[in-house]
């Protein structure tokens, strides 16, 4: 079961910043999960919300700023005791760094509320520029975006994101549309869903796993990845399990 750092090491550091990604690598994570959106002039940037209000000292929509303007806002305002100024990274900045590591990346296309023009194409172009084709996968709540990714990059894995409610017969659904993975919220997972995914060979990466009980349940289900805000805790739990089994 992979340790997947949710927006980087977001439990201790400002989410979706280079600091959070670097700290996740140091903590022994296997994979980074991050979110991409587009700026006013079409730069792919790493940020979760359509608006910058929650995570920065600015206000307004990502799409209404140029990247040069966005970089001036502090993306670390929720963690003043931990770090100083952190800018909103461009996806290209992230990829340049990721190419120097062994990490894989789960790229969430944020087209659920605002559909950015050509975001899939622009993101894939950057992935290819840095030779990361075999080290990435894509996910989205907007499954039309995943179909577009498959059209542009058929070989890449895609994961259908679902809310906490989940989706009945998810294994068949993902298989039918060529999605290799299913990414439900923990509360939307049942024994029946797990069995259906296994029947169709669909991998399950579950979010957001931040308790020991949740980790134990994912192991019991035989899930493929735990998307967590605390990758160091998850890694320590995995190492403990290895020792117990010896």
DSSP-derived 3-state class of residue 86: coil
Q: Which of 48, 87, 143, 183 is catalytic?
A: 48
Q: For residue 52, what are the contacts with CB-CB under 8 A and spacing of at least 6?
A: 58, 59, 60, 61, 62, 65, 70, 73, 88
Closest Cα to residue 234, out of 14, 33, 18, 19? Answer: 33
Please state, in angstroms and rounded to a whole number, the distance separating the CA atoms of residues 155 and 117: 22
Range 66-76 burial, b when 16+ CB lie within 10 A, else e: ebeebeebbbb
Which helix or strand (DSSP H or E) is residue 91 part of? helix 91-98
Q: What's the token pair of residue 22? A: 């670097």
Q: What is the largest CA-CA distance in the chain?
A: 55
Which helix or strand (DSSP H or E) is residue 137 part of? strand 136-140
- Total residues found in the chain within this entry: 246
Q: Which of 6, 87, 143, 175 is catalytic?
A: 6
**90 touches 67 (CB < 8 A):** yes
pLDDT tens-digit profile, the chain (246 residues): 999 999 999 999 999 999 999 999 999 999 999 999 999 999 999 999 999 999 999 999 999 999 999 999 999 999 998 889 999 999 999 999 999 999 999 999 999 999 999 999 999 999 999 999 999 999 999 999 999 999 999 999 999 999 888 999 999 999 999 999 999 999 999 999 999 999 999 999 999 999 999 999 999 999 999 999 999 999 999 998 888 877
Q: For residue 57, what are the contacts with CB-CB under 8 A and spacing of at least 6?
A: 73, 74, 77
Q: Answer yes or no: 175 catalytic.
A: no
Q: What is the pTM of this model?
A: 0.97
Cα dist. 10→66, 191, 245 in Å?
Answer: 25, 29, 30
DSSP string, 202-241: -EEEEB---SHHHHHHHHHHT-SEEEES-HHHHHHHHHHH
Q: Answer yes or no: 143 catalytic.
A: no
């Amino acid at each position: 079961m992979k340790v997947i750092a949710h927006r980087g090491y977001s439990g201790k550091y400002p989410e979706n910043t280079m600091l959070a990604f670097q700290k996740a690598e140091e903590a022994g994570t296997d994979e980074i999960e991050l979110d991409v959106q587009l700026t006013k002039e079409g730069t792919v940037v790493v940020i979760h919300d359509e608006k910058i209000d929650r995570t920065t000292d600015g206000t307004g929509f990502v799409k209404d700023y140029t990247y040069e303007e966005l970089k001036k806002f502090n993306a670390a305002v929720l963690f003043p005791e931990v770090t100083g100024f952190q800018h909103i990274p461009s996806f290209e900045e992230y990829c340049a760094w990721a190419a120097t590591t062994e990490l894989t990346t789960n790229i969430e296309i944020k087209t659920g509320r605002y559909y950015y023009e050509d975001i899939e194409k622009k993101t894939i172009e950057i992935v290819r520029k840095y030779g990361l084709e075999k080290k990435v996968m894509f996910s989205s709540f907007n499954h039309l975006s995943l179909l577009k990714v498959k059209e542009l990059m058929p070989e890449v894995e895609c994961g259908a994101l679902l809310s906490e409610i989940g989706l009945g017969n998810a294994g068949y659904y993902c298989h039918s549309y060529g999605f290799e993975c299913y990414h439900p919220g923990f509360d939307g997972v049942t024994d029946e869903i797990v069995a259906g995914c296994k029947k169709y060979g669909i991998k399950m990466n579950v979010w957001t796993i931040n308790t020991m009980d949740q980790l134990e349940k994912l192991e019991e289900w035989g899930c493929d990845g735990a998307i967590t805000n605390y990758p160091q805790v998850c890694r320590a739990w995995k190492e403990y399990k290895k020792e117990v089994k010896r």
